């Protein structure tokens, strides 16, 4: 089984990374600190490294990370958890549902909006909607 490498940013941190790693299989998660970045590293710096690190950035930051600043095909990939309220458990459930949907490979180099029951993958062409 191919896994997805996630860099968990400071909006989620270690609790989300640990919850994602507690399950075996499709996800390998590490925090930005574990990837070697300083605490509160700039979004631009993190996103610029996703391609070289072969990972996707998982964040809850909807204010400074968006499609205009970071368009598809300019980075390794970004997954933005869109629901306002979150817990490590519901982020983990949504990520695993997304991985099981068969569309995780489509998130590479794209901006994915992740919800509890669906994902919207913004490609450089047209969005792909995934329901789970």
What's the domain range around 15? 4-131
Number of domains forming the structure of the chain = 1
Burial of residue 17 (CB within 10 Å: 0-12, 13-18, 19+) is buried
Residue 128: the pLDDT is 97
**Are 58 and 79 contacting, i.e. CB atoms less than 8 angstroms apart?**
yes
Tell me the C-alpha distance between 68 and 3, whole Å.
28
Residue 61: the pLDDT is 93
CA angle 78, 82, 87 (to 5 degrees): 100
Residue 1: the pLDDT is 47
pTM above 0.85, yes or no: yes
Ranges of residues in the chain with a pLDDT under 70 are: 1, 24-25
**Are 75 and 47 contacting, i.e. CB atoms less than 8 angstroms apart?**
yes
Dihedral angle sign, alpha carbons of residues 30, 34, 39, 40: negative
Residue 24: the pLDDT is 60
Q: Which stretches of 74-122 are DSSP H helices? A: 88-100
C-alpha separations of 88 from 18, 26, 118 in Å: 9, 17, 17
């Amino acid at each position: 089984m191919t896994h997805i490498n996630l860099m968990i940013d400071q909006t989620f941190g270690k609790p989300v990374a640990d919850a994602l790693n507690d399950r075996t299989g499709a996800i390998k998660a590490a925090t930005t600190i574990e990837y070697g970045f300083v605490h509160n590293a700039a979004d631009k710096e993190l996103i610029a490294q996703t391609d070289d690190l072969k990972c996707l950035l998982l964040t809850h930051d909807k204010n400074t990370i968006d499609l205009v600043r970071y368009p598809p095909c300019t980075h390794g990939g970004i997954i933005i958890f869109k629901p306002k309220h979150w817990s490590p458990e519901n982020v983990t459930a949504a990520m695993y549902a997304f991985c099981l949907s068969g569309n995780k490979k489509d998130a590479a180099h794209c901006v994915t909006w992740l919800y509890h029951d669906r994902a919207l993958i913004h490609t450089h062409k047209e969005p792909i909607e995934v329901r789970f």
